[in-house]
Structure 1
Amino acid sequence: MNITIIEDELRTAKSLENILKELKPSAKITGPYQSIEEAVSGLSSGTQPDLIFMDIQLADGLSFDIFKSVTISCPVVFCTAFDEYSLEAFKSNGVDYVLKPFSKEDIARALGKVDDLKNFFQQNATPNLDALLSQMVKPAEKTSFLVFKHQKYTTVQISQIAFFYIRNETTSIMCFDGQEFSLNQSLEQVAAQVSQKQFFRVNRQYLVNFSAIKEIEHYFLRKLYVKLLIDTPEKLLINKEKSAAFLSWMENR
C-alpha cells in the first residue's frame, strides 16, 4: 500500500508517519508535501498512491486547490484542526475527516473505513449508494452539554451558548446570559459535536454561534473583525485565508 502525506506541520507529519508505520508496517509512505505546489508536483510526477492523508490549510492555501491541478483517483483522509470544511472534503474524494490533535485510534478508524469501503466495492458490482452513504453519516449533533460548577451538575442547552473559547488552556462555554462554564473537552472535540451550520471556528481560540454575531468589520491586513452580542475577552479576528469561508458560511446557512 502506497500512502502519501500532505501536511505543512513537520511534527504532525512525523507523528502521522510513525502511527501509519505501526498500523501498516508494509506500507510505503511518501511525503510530507508541505504546500499545494509540492503536492501537485509530487502527485503529477509518479504513480498515484493508494491513499492520501491530507491537511486542509497548507502553507500556500487550502489543499482543495490541489484537485484543480492534478487528478486524484484514490481515497483521501483529511486531517485538520478545523471542522467547517467537512462538506467540501467529502466532495473531494474524502472518506474520513480526522480532527487534530489526532490519536492512534483515530488513524486506525480511518484506515478501517478505507478498508471497509474497498471491500464494499469489491463485493458489489453495482454499489448500493444508500448503504455506502450510511457508512459516512456523522453522529447526531449535540443539543446540550453536561457541566459541573459549584459542586453541582447541570446541562447547558446549545441554544443558550453564545460561544466556546479557550481560556487558560481550558475550553469554556459562554452563555448569552453571561454565565460561564468549563468543559473537560478540547475545542476540536466540541467543534466536531455541534452543528456546523450554527457554529463556526473563527480562529484557534473561538467557536461562535451564528445567533451571537452582531456585525462584521474589515480589519487590518485583510482580516475580519467579528463583534458579538456579548463581550469577548479579546477581539475576534479572522485571518484573510479564512475570511472567504466565514463569509460563505454567513451567507449560505
Structure 2
Amino acid sequence: MEQKLKIVIVEDEPVSNIYLKNLIQETRIQHEIVKELDCVVDALAYFVANPKVDLIFMDIHLGDGTCFDILNTIAIDTPIIFCTTFDTYAIQAFKYNSIDYILKPAKIDNIRAALNKFLSINQSEQQNYLGRIDQMMDSFTPPQFKKRFLIKENNKLKIVDINNVNFFYSKDGQTFIVEKTGCEHPVDYTLERLEDLLDPEDFFRINRKTTININQIFSVEDYFNSRLKIKLQNNKKDLDLVVSRNRVKYFKNWLKGVS
C-alpha cells in the first residue's frame, strides 16, 4: 500500500484553505492533512512541538504576520510549496526549502505538478535546488490585472480606467462599476471573478456585495456588531459600505499593506 504523504497547511483564509484541500484531493495522490494552521503564533508552537511531516503548503501573508516570521524564527527543513496572491516574494521564498511557488487562484495542474515535483526530487537534488531558481524564474509570469473596463451604453463604447473606479457592487444578480464621478455601469463580471482580475493591493471585497478601491477611502469608522463603516471620496450613491465582521481582521491587514 502506498504510504500517505503527511501534509500541513498554513493558510489564514478559510475559503482558500478549503479550495486548496479540494485541489490536493483531486490529484489522487495519497495524502493526509495532519494539521491546518492560520497564524504565525500557532504555526511556531506547532512546528516546535511536533514531529516532522513530509510537506508544507504555506501562504505568505497570515493574519498576524508573514510566513517569513515563522521561517526566520525556527529552523524548518521540511519542503514547502508556497501558495500566495503576490509574486514579489518568489526569490525570497526559494531560500526556504521551496519546492514550488504557486500564484492564487491555484489550478489543479499547478498543484499536481508541484506535488509530482516534490515526489521526484530526492534529498541530494533538493540541496542543489537553489541552483535552478534562475531558470525557473525566467519562466515565471506575474499575474496581469485589469487596467480598464469597456462599457457598452446605447450602442456606444466607453472606456473606464481602473484608476477612476470608486467601487463595485452587486444587486439582484447584476454587478455594477461606480466611477469617481458617481456614474455607474453594469459589467459582465461577478464579484468573485473580479477578485481574480483586480489588483489585491488596491481592491478589497468588504462584504458579499461590495468591493472598494483603497485609493478612494475617506474614512473608516467603528460600526455596531464589531464591524467597520467605510466612507469613500466622491461617493454619491446612497449605499452603506460596511466591512463584514468576519473580514475586519483581513481588511485592517490590507490597509496596513499585509493583506
TM range (shorter): 0.5 to 0.7
1:201-212 matches, cutoff 5 A: 201-212=205-216
The C-alpha deviation readout for 1:155-194, integer Å capped at 9, x for no partner, is 4221221112233344321112223233333324323333
Tell me the distance in 2 between the aligned counterparts of 1:71 and 1:222: 38
Tell me the distance in 2 between the aligned counterparts of 1:41 and 1:126: 28
Tell me the distance in 1 between the aligned counterparts of 2:43 and 2:194: 31
Q: TM-score, normalised by structure 2?
A: 0.64
Alpha-carbon distance, 1:52 to partner? 1.7
1:75 aligns with 2:76: no
Alpha-carbon distance, 1:40 to partner? 5.4
* Counterpart for residue 96 of structure 1: 102
* Counterpart for residue 112 of structure 1: 113
The C-alpha deviation readout for 1:62-99, integer Å capped at 9, x for no partner, is 584782776544223437xxx5x775798666822324
Root-mean-square deviation (CA, aligned residues, Å) is 4.4
Q: Which has the larger radius of gyration?
A: 2
Unaligned segments of structure 2, at least 5 residues = none
Aligned residue identity for 1:107: I
Identity %: 19
Aligned residue identity for 1:67: I
Alpha-carbon distance, 1:227 to partner? 0.6
2:7 to 3, 6, 19: 3
The C-alpha deviation readout for 1:186-230, integer Å capped at 9, x for no partner, is 324323333344333444433222332222334456654321121
Stretch deviating more after TM superposition (175-184 or 107-116):
107-116
* Counterpart for residue 145 of structure 1: 149
Tell me the distance in 2 between the aligned counterparts of 1:38 and 1:197: 26
Count the aligned residue pairs: 236
Aligned residue identity for 1:159: N
2:32 to 29, 36, 43: 29
1:133 aligns with 2:137: yes
SS in 2 for 1:127: helix
* Counterpart for residue 216 of structure 1: 220
Stretch deviating more after TM superposition (136-145 or 29-38):
29-38
Tell me the distance in 2 between the aligned counterparts of 1:150 and 1:163: 23
Q: Quick check: 1:166–1:172 contact (8 Å CA) kept in 2?
A: yes
1:195-206 matches, cutoff 5 A: 195-206=199-210
Q: Structure 1 pair 5/107, CA: closer, same or farther in 2 (3 Å)?
A: farther
Aligned residue identity for 2:54: P
Tell me the distance in 2 between the aligned counterparts of 1:161 and 1:212: 8
* Counterpart for residue 186 of structure 1: 190
Q: Quick check: 2:13–2:38 contact (8 Å CA) kept in 1?
A: no
Tell me the distance in 2 between the aligned counterparts of 1:11 and 1:198: 21
Q: Quick check: 1:56–1:78 contact (8 Å CA) kept in 2?
A: no
Q: Structure 1 pair 160/35, CA: closer, same or farther in 2 (3 Å)?
A: closer
SS in 2 for 1:3: strand
1:247 aligns with 2:248: no
SS in 2 for 1:47: coil
Q: Quick check: 1:6–1:31 contact (8 Å CA) kept in 2?
A: no
Unaligned segments of structure 1, at least 5 residues = none
Tell me the distance in 2 between the aligned counterparts of 1:206 and 1:155: 21
Q: Quick check: 1:17–1:29 contact (8 Å CA) kept in 2?
A: no
1:160 aligns with 2:168: no
